[in-house]
Amino acid sequence: MQFSELGLHPFILKAIEATGYTEATQVQAQAVPAALAGADLLVSSQTGSGKTAAFLLPSLHRLAEPSAVPGNGPRILVLAPTRELAQQVEKAARTYGKELRRLRTASLVGGAPYGPQLKQLAQPVDIVVATPGRLMDHMERGRIDFSRLEVLVLDEADRMLDMGFIDDIEAIVAKTPESRQTLLFSATLDGVVGKLARKLTRDAQRIEVAAAASAKPQIEQRLHFTDDHEHKARLLDHWLRDAELKQAVVFTATKRSAEELTDSLRDQGHSADALHGDMPQNKRNRTIQRLREGRTRVLVATDVAARGIDVAGVTHVINFDAPRQAEDYVHRIGRTGRAGRSGIAVTLVHHREKHLVREIERYTGQSLQAETIPGLEPKARPPRTEQRPRQGYGQGKSWGARKEGGYKKDGYAKPYGERSEGGFKREAKPAGEWQPRSDWNNKPRSDWRDKPYGLSGDAQPRSFDRGNGQPKRAERGGDPARREDSWKSPNNDWSSRGPRKAYAGAKPAAKRSNRWD
């Protein structure tokens, strides 16, 4: 479908033509007319499908007409999960709305100084693109007014919820007019995202757009299994020396790993920069600008760069650390092969991380085949029995005479009467044929059993036998007449006085004034 068939304002169509685009994508062809009709939208689409223009074009169409509500507050509010994505959306808004008169935009993101942002909010502003955290800061200071707000856009809603912004989003939405139009875009509309969507929208129209089949071959996906960190580093060096590589984005799991890998690559002679969430905004902007200008060949980044980076020169994406969530994999590899360009996505996975590969395959619906590079093949994994022998049933030292081979279908071991070694060696007899041993009854008793022990007359325990037939001398009191139920008197007399009465002379519990009586 052509953009001219969507019913957009002529000023917006003129700006679109200047960018070189003439035909709308599938998500744009469905979302733009529905948004122009004023309906709330729940849109599910993958990265690279053109969703930014899908919500910006109908929103800019509203700005062609002056607002009926006076004030300086924004008419369009876009919430984005990361600073890079927010800046990308603001840049797209200025591009598509450059033919509109006096279009003012503001980007409210964390890590940037407050002064320029306060200066932008002091004047009438049409579009505000913000991250939830920084927008909440301005709201608490009373620096922003939503009385003129007409459209609320939640871009990458699933990502914002994953980052823990659900409370901030609900607080922001509570301050907006109920008459607003809500456009929610997300990779998925299930689970927590679906609950939030039902809470924020009214009779929303649901649009789900699958990834275009023609877009799949644009990114060639490679998978390599690694033995250890050193093997992974050698594979990375191989790909960075690829003749077809112009620029690459290497993803790591942590900020520390990004810094350490960047230093290592610089020592090897690569033009590398790091990008992660702990960097101040001005430094992140300079890093992205160097990447766009081609001065940085390798960008080592965390998932903060998985969204919002659109650089034409990125030909390779290398997952040095495999993503922990399958949807992050899609956003990572989406940094290459954008807008009809081709790219290569390489993922380095340890043998213990096979479950991550299975999750990615289920999420994308594509099978990832492991490949090898001559000279960099992973070592063959030894069988588990060689690495750590496993004992099956019947291989231990207990359970009688177990046979080698483990668990048997007919039981853990043979019956007692069938055993040739270990256990009972005689032939088993039925239970009724067993006879008591005569020598047990006729066995003579030893001398110590016939001698009395103390006053009680009980047989002396074997432990008290001194070896000469005499009872062992009682301890502490020296009196062999001491019994177990005797108690020691104040004058150290161990004479037997019978069992000691507990709490002798104590008051009944009901008559005690306190627990110490």
Could you write out the three-class secondary structure of 435-458?
Answer: CCCHHHHHCCCCHHHHCEECCCCE
Residue at 349 is within a domain? yes
Quote the pLDDT of residue 455.
Answer: 45
Q: From its phi and psi, is residue 467 left (phi > 0), alpha (psi between -120 and 50) or beta? A: left
Q: Are 145 and 253 within one domain?
A: no
Q: Are 181 and 328 within one domain?
A: no
Quote the pLDDT of residue 294.
Answer: 86
Q: What is the mean pLDDT of residues 454-464?
A: 47
Q: How far is CA 84 from the centre of its chain?
A: 22
Please report which confidence band the pLDDT of residue 166 belongs to, taking 50, 70 and 90 as the band edges. confident
Quote the pLDDT of residue 244.
Answer: 87
Please report which confidence band the pLDDT of residue 261 belongs to, taking 50, 70 and 90 as the band edges. very high
Q: Are 194 and 223 within one domain?
A: no
Q: Are 242 and 183 within one domain?
A: no
Contact present, 46 and 63 (Cβ < 8 Å): no
Q: What is the mean pLDDT of residues 348-368?
A: 90
Tokens at residue 52, please? 């930014």
Q: Are 250 and 168 within one domain?
A: no
Q: How far apart are CA 143 and CA 123, in angstroms?
A: 11
Query: Above 50 in pLDDT, residue 463?
Result: no
Rg (CA), the chain: 40
Please report which confidence band the pLDDT of residue 19 belongs to, taking 50, 70 and 90 as the band edges. confident
Query: Above 50 in pLDDT, residue 309?
Result: yes
Query: Above 80 in pLDDT, residue 418?
Result: no
Domain of 82: which CATH number? 3.40.50.300
Instruction: Give the number of domains in the chain.
Output: 2
Contact present, 102 and 79 (Cβ < 8 Å): no
Question: Tokens 């995202």 label which residue?
Answer: 193
* Least confident piece of the model among 14-23, 61-70, 94-103, 400-409: 400-409
- Give the number of other Cβ atoms within 10 Å of residue 95's Cβ: 14
Tokens at residue 329, please? 């994999």
Polymer length of the chain:
517
Contact present, 272 and 339 (Cβ < 8 Å): no
Of 208, 242, 264, the position where a domain reaches its end is 208
Quote the pLDDT of residue 427.
Answer: 52
- Give the number of other Cβ atoms within 10 Å of residue 90's Cβ: 22
Q: Are 200 and 225 within one domain?
A: no
Q: How far apart are CA 391 and CA 74, in angstroms?
A: 70
DSSP 422: S
> Which is it for strands 452-453 and 458-459: parallel, antiparallel or unpaired?
antiparallel
Please report which confidence band the pLDDT of residue 409 belongs to, taking 50, 70 and 90 as the band edges. very low
Q: Are 331 and 193 within one domain?
A: no
Question: Tokens 């990502």 label which residue?
Answer: 159
Quote the pLDDT of residue 325.
Answer: 85
Q: What is the mean pLDDT of residues 243-271?
A: 91
Of 163, 179, 208, the position where a domain reaches its end is 208
Please report which confidence band the pLDDT of residue 424 belongs to, taking 50, 70 and 90 as the band edges. very low
Quote the pLDDT of residue 445.
Answer: 53
Quote the pLDDT of residue 218.
Answer: 79
Q: How far apart are CA 127 and CA 56, in angstroms?
A: 10
Residue at 426 is within a domain? no
Residue at 337 is within a domain? yes
Tokens at residue 83, please? 């600073």
> What is the SS3 assignment for 250?
strand
* Least confident piece of the model among 48-52, 82-86, 217-221, 431-435: 431-435
Tokens at residue 111, please? 């890590």
Q: Are 233 and 183 within one domain?
A: no
Query: Above 60 in pLDDT, residue 510?
Result: no
Contact present, 239 and 246 (Cβ < 8 Å): no
Q: How far apart are CA 3 and CA 21, in angstroms?
A: 8
Please report which confidence band the pLDDT of residue 305 belongs to, taking 50, 70 and 90 as the band edges. low
CA dihedral 486, 487, 489, 491 (to 10 degrees): 80
- Residue ranges making up the domain that contains 332: 213-364
Please report which confidence band the pLDDT of residue 300 belongs to, taking 50, 70 and 90 as the band edges. very high
Q: At what angle do helices 166-174 and 192-200 cross, to 10 degrees?
A: 10
* pTM beyond 0.75: no
Q: How far apart are CA 62 and CA 75, in angstroms?
A: 9
Q: What is the mean pLDDT of residues 269-275?
A: 91
Query: Above 50 in pLDDT, residue 399?
Result: no
Q: Are 145 and 40 within one domain?
A: yes
Residue at 488 is within a domain? no
Query: Above 80 in pLDDT, residue 54?
Result: yes
End-to-end CA separation in angstroms for the chain: 95
In this predicted model, which residue has the larger pLDDT, 457 or 120? 120
Residue at 457 is within a domain? no
Query: Above 50 in pLDDT, residue 329?
Result: yes
Quote the pLDDT of residue 66.
Answer: 79
Please report which confidence band the pLDDT of residue 404 belongs to, taking 50, 70 and 90 as the band edges. very low
Q: How far apart are CA 245 and CA 317, in angstroms?
A: 10
**What proportion of the chain, given as a percentage, has pLDDT over 90?**
29
Closest alpha carbon to 318 in 284, 344, 353? 344
Q: Are 230 and 110 within one domain?
A: no
> Which is it for strands 151-154 and 219-226: parallel, antiparallel or unpaired?
unpaired
Query: Above 80 in pLDDT, residue 310?
Result: no
Q: Are 242 and 197 within one domain?
A: no
Q: What are phi and psi of 166, to 5 degrees?
A: -65, -40
Q: In the beta sheet, which residues pair with residue 316? A: 248, 344
Tell me the DSSP string of 255-283: HHHHHHHHHHHHHTT--EEEE-TTS-HHH
Please report which confidence band the pLDDT of residue 403 belongs to, taking 50, 70 and 90 as the band edges. very low
Q: How far apart are CA 181 and CA 448, in angstroms?
A: 100
Tokens at residue 440, please? 């047990």
* Least confident piece of the model among 111-115, 195-199, 442-446, 482-486: 482-486
Q: What is the mean pLDDT of residues 152-174?
A: 87
Residue at 157 is within a domain? yes
Q: How far apart are CA 458 and CA 297, in angstroms?
A: 94
Q: What is the mean pLDDT of residues 72-92?
A: 90
Quote the pLDDT of residue 259.
Answer: 92
Q: What is the mean pLDDT of residues 355-368?
A: 89
Q: What is the mean pLDDT of residues 473-489?
A: 47
Q: How far apart are CA 377 and CA 227, in angstroms?
A: 9
Query: Above 90 in pLDDT, residue 79?
Result: yes
Question: Tokens 């590589």 label which residue?
Answer: 245
Quote the pLDDT of residue 61.
Answer: 92
* Least confident piece of the model among 84-98, 146-160, 433-447: 433-447
Q: Are 195 and 222 within one domain?
A: no
Please report which confidence band the pLDDT of residue 485 belongs to, taking 50, 70 and 90 as the band edges. very low
Q: What is the mean pLDDT of residues 282-293?
A: 84
Looking at every residue in the chain, the average pLDDT score rounds to: 77
Closest alpha carbon to 135 in 109, 116, 155, 159? 109
Residue at 478 is within a domain? no
Residue at 450 is within a domain? no
Q: How far is CA 224 from the centre of its chain?
A: 22
Over 24-88, what HEC string results? CCHHHHHHHHHHHCCCCEEEECCCCCCHHHHHHHHHHHHHCCCCCCCCCCCCEEEECCCHHHHHH
Of 167, 193, 208, the position where a domain reaches its end is 208
Please report which confidence band the pLDDT of residue 405 belongs to, taking 50, 70 and 90 as the band edges. very low
Its sign, for the CA torsion 498, 503, 505, 511, is negative
- Residues with Cβ within 8 Å of residue 40, at least 6 apart in sequence: 181, 182, 183, 184, 201, 202, 203, 204, 205
Q: What are phi and psi of 112, to 5 degrees?
A: -100, 155
**What proportion of the chain, given as a percentage, has pLDDT over 70?**
70
